Amino acid sequence: MKKAAKEKWDSSNAEDLFRAILTLENTDEAKRFFRDLLTAPEIMDFSQRWKTARLLDEGTPYLEIGRQTWMSSKTIARIQRWLKRGKGGYRLVLDRMKRSEPFGF
């Protein structure tokens, strides 16, 4: 079952989407593209997950993250698990953003 789920998202369609995202040159283009691609609630959900990853990386306690994001402790734990033992995507981007002057948080 897990292999089938992986095959469904890791497809040529997904690869094409990732290549399209890589063509975006700035946040304005990203906002325009993602607003056309996703619903407002989907964007809000993704942005809350990203905020949760950032807060976890900063060492923020689960209760405080839940207060700020309204995420359940189960969702926060899942994001923490992916941050520590996932494919390394969260870590890659968090580290790059920390080194980037305009985004330094």
Asked if residue 48 and residue 6 are part of one domain, the reply reads: no
Asked if residue 31 and residue 76 are part of one domain, the reply reads: no
Asked if residue 2 and residue 13 are part of one domain, the reply reads: yes
Asked if residue 64 and residue 33 are part of one domain, the reply reads: no
Asked if residue 28 and residue 17 are part of one domain, the reply reads: yes
Structure confidence at residue 1 (pLDDT)? 45
What span, in angstroms and rounded, lies between the C-alpha atoms of 67 and 93?
Answer: 24
Asked if residue 57 and residue 25 are part of one domain, the reply reads: no
**60: burial class by Cβ within 10 Å (0-12, 13-18, 19+)?**
middle
Asked if residue 67 and residue 105 are part of one domain, the reply reads: yes
Sequence-ordered list of residues with C-beta below 8 angstroms from that of 22, at least 6 positions apart, any chain: none
Asked if residue 100 and residue 49 are part of one domain, the reply reads: yes
Tens-digit pLDDT profile for residues 32-84: 999 999 999 999 999 999 999 999 999 999 999 999 999 999 999 999 999 99
Contact call for residues 55 and 66 (beta carbons, < 8 A): no
**Banded model confidence at residue 101, pLDDT cuts 50, 70, 90:** low
Q: Enter the tokens of residue 97.
A: 């953003």
Asked if residue 31 and residue 71 are part of one domain, the reply reads: no
Overall domain count for the chain: 2
Sequence-ordered list of residues with C-beta below 8 angstroms from that of 69, at least 6 positions apart, any chain: 48, 51, 52, 55, 76
Asked if residue 53 and residue 96 are part of one domain, the reply reads: yes
Asked if residue 31 and residue 44 are part of one domain, the reply reads: no
Q: Enter the tokens of residue 34.
A: 């993602």
Q: Is pTM, for the whole model, over 0.75? A: yes
Q: Is a pLDDT exceeding 60 seen at residue 105?
A: no
